[in-house]
Structure 1
């Protein structure tokens, strides 16, 4: 009886490694198992990704499940595929170790990023949805943590690809860790002589009315601080706690509060200062002091003050005039008549 050609092809030996031999049938079955595992990993990843988009509160936990399940299916599929091909994995241990050392030296950067990605997924110090600031100043929301790199999207819709090792080994600021907000300080200035309480009330009223300001509580509340003096101004800071959603847009929230403060100060009639300079002229046409003022037909300040003092004998301070009365029931004394002109 003639041999079945398909059976002969199935048992045809392609490769022999020690006592193990790889046949056409084993190779086909192994490739099929690996392909099924990859398909299952992709399908499960897509399903969990859609579920993660709907469940905002458990997005980080679902992301960990997605990555663990995807990596696990791939590893199991590759291992089962190699075993089905007829390869004895125990006999390949020494060979794999030698190859692993060589590959590790050549691909140590990729392996380092992969290990860092696994660390990020499980430690959750940086999770999907967090707003982070990188060492180079780049800021954005973490959209995906891959096996080698993390994709961060800025508020300008620009994607930044960051190696996972950078997020693990370098100093990274996570503005929304554990889904909490942060305090923001917005500086502003007013003119010298401005009523501090009026400034505080106007700015706080506007800040608390904004929809992007978190409500006050026992620990976190909006404040206005007087922090110093400028050349021609009083320096203030609005210390406020924006909402978590607003924290993810730092440039926009800073500009929004600055605009709000300007409207509040103008609405309250509080002056916003401009740089001022006083110029004192010591000499004019070779003359100084009162001689120079006389040349310009101007009156010295001391002479003007003396004249004003003579012309206005009464006091405009009502409280001081009231204190001059000995009897509280006594009517206020009328001011003395002005001196007769001669």
Structure 2
């Protein structure tokens, strides 16, 4: 009887060992399959994918491939480990703990891959901002954007992990929504200026160094574009600080677009006895004699209107750099008054004729 019991015990032990050996072999096979897949993926990402990305005009895709290749291969290996552990007939608690640990590792690696891709895109976009708006703009825009995206990725990873372990994420999402609403209401002006700052960066109505004129009549050179405000340096060496939300909702003139050329205007009144054609010719000759006035487009002179005491004339001219309009206007004015005196052309003072009637 004892021999029979021993035999049955040995047979059960052998069956148990065979069962576990079979399950372990299946798990090892699953892991080996994913491991070989990771090697093939690495080979594709390092050998074949760069040949495809070489046809593009930017190196962004090459940099992304270089950054994500190691974590992508690791993700495949960890995915194989997850399914291998999940295939083993562990007790429920042990199975949940082991598979859950590997799942968390997979989420961490997947989040890291997403962050690497976004980091390369932001770095590329920051370089473009620096080229378009000048050095310093990228350091103002990219770091806050990186922090916001990091918080977003961590929040998504946390919700996926909680969902996997059957936790109710509705309360978490509700709390985050209420908190975001409270923060948004408390800092709505700041958020509006920050969003407007991003809009100015993307839409690019002006760049650092451009001269702009506001609807209020104030004008100057853009010295800084921040997240909350934009600073404009006026000609009297003062700084005008304007909230970005106001700049996004107002009409302005960019004197530096579409090119740095600028158009100047000189208004002058001559006596009614003057020869209009002669005055127009003198104005054009004076403008062309100034070296900084462009011959093309050529200067033009016009008889604008009949004034109270003079014939109103206007001279229009172009200069290569809009910042030189005032200096060139000064030179043209000096030459105009000099030529008018030489030609005997009168610039009259305002005159009024008053008639007095004597009472009878």
Indicate yes or no: 2:296 matched with 1:213: no
Q: Is the 8 A contact 1:141 1:154 kept in 2?
A: yes
Secondary structure (helix, strand or coil) at the match of 1:140 reads strand
- What CA distance in whole angstroms lies between the structure 2 residues aligned with 1:142 and 1:73? 26
Indicate yes or no: 2:336 matched with 1:261: yes
Q: What residue is the counterpart of 1:271 in the other structure?
A: 346
- What CA distance in whole angstroms lies between the structure 1 residues aligned with 2:268 and 2:329? 12
In the superposition, the TM-score normalised over structure 2's length comes to 0.53
Deviations 1:259-317 (A, max 9, x none): 4432332243322112446688999xx9xxxxxxxxxxxxxxxxxxxxxxxxxxxxxxx
Deviations 1:46-76 (A, max 9, x none): x98xx96xxxxx4427666454533344446
- What CA distance in whole angstroms lies between the structure 2 residues aligned with 1:137 and 1:257? 25
Indicate yes or no: 2:300 matched with 1:227: no
Indicate yes or no: 2:145 matched with 1:60: no
- What CA distance in whole angstroms lies between the structure 2 residues aligned with 1:271 and 1:164? 50
- What CA distance in whole angstroms lies between the structure 2 residues aligned with 1:149 and 1:131? 17
What does 1:294-313 correspond to in 2, within 5 Å?
none
- What CA distance in whole angstroms lies between the structure 1 residues aligned with 2:300 and 2:159? 67
- What CA distance in whole angstroms lies between the structure 2 residues aligned with 1:117 and 1:198? 53
Q: What residue is the counterpart of 1:146 in the other structure?
A: 226
For this pair of structures, how many residues does the alignment match? 225
Q: What residue is the counterpart of 1:332 in the other structure?
A: none
In the superposition, the TM-score normalised over structure 1's length comes to 0.55
Structure 2 vs 1, CA of residues 73 and 102 (structure 1 numbering), >3 Å: closer, same or farther? Answer: closer
Q: Is the 8 A contact 2:290 2:331 kept in 1?
A: no
Q: Name which of 123, 144, 147 aligns with 1:71.
A: 144
The answer to which structure has the higher helix fraction is: 2
How far did residue 198 of structure 1 move?
Answer: 2.5
What does 1:96-245 correspond to in 2, within 5 Å?
96-216=176-296, 220-245=297-322
Q: Is the 8 A contact 1:125 1:177 kept in 2?
A: no
Runs of 5+ consecutive residues of structure 1 not aligned to the other structure: 1-43, 53-57, 287-342
Q: Is the 8 A contact 2:137 2:225 kept in 1?
A: no
